[in-house]
């Protein structure tokens, strides 16, 4: 489930997504106002990252704002901006009694 701080959208009655909220949509909205272009939201059918890259590659969309990791393979398809978010995943485990007592 996408983080609502970054992606939130409910289609209007006509199927458009002008009720979109979240950082990613706000960035596109600001760019459209500053650079004077019409914002049209196109969501990938399956909502997977490979489809976002496919929409760019096929020139169905001109720009995208989403939580997408920059990889060498994706860099061949698109020019990326400086990331507006860096996230770090961690792994946790329960501390054992050995660990608590300083035993190896």
- For all residues of the chain together, what is the average pLDDT? 78
Among candidates 5, 27, 8, 4, which has minimal Cα distance to 18?
8
Annotated domain spans of the chain: 23-100
The predicted model gives 64-82 an average pLDDT of: 88
Residue 14 pLDDT grade (very low, low, confident, very high; cuts 50, 70, 90):
low
**Between the CA of residue 13 and those of 6, 47, 96, what are the distances in Å?**
23, 21, 55
pLDDT in tens, 16-67: 555 677 788 888 889 999 999 988 878 777 767 788 888 999 999 999 888 7
Higher pLDDT, 104 or 76: 76
The predicted structure's pLDDT at residue 5: 53
């Amino acid at each position: 489930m996408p983080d609502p701080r970054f992606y939130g959208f409910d289609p209007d009655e006509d199927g458009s997504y002008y009720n979109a909220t979240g950082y990613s949509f706000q960035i596109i909205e600001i760019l459209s106002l500053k650079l004077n272009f019409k914002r049209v939201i196109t969501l990938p059918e399956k909502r997977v990252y490979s489809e976002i890259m496919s929409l760019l590659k096929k020139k169905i969309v001109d720009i995208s704002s989403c939580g997408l990791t920059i990889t060498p393979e994706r860099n061949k398809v698109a020019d990326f901006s400086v990331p507006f978010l860096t996230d770090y995943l961690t792994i946790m485990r329960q501390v054992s009694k050995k660990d608590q007592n300083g035993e190896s």
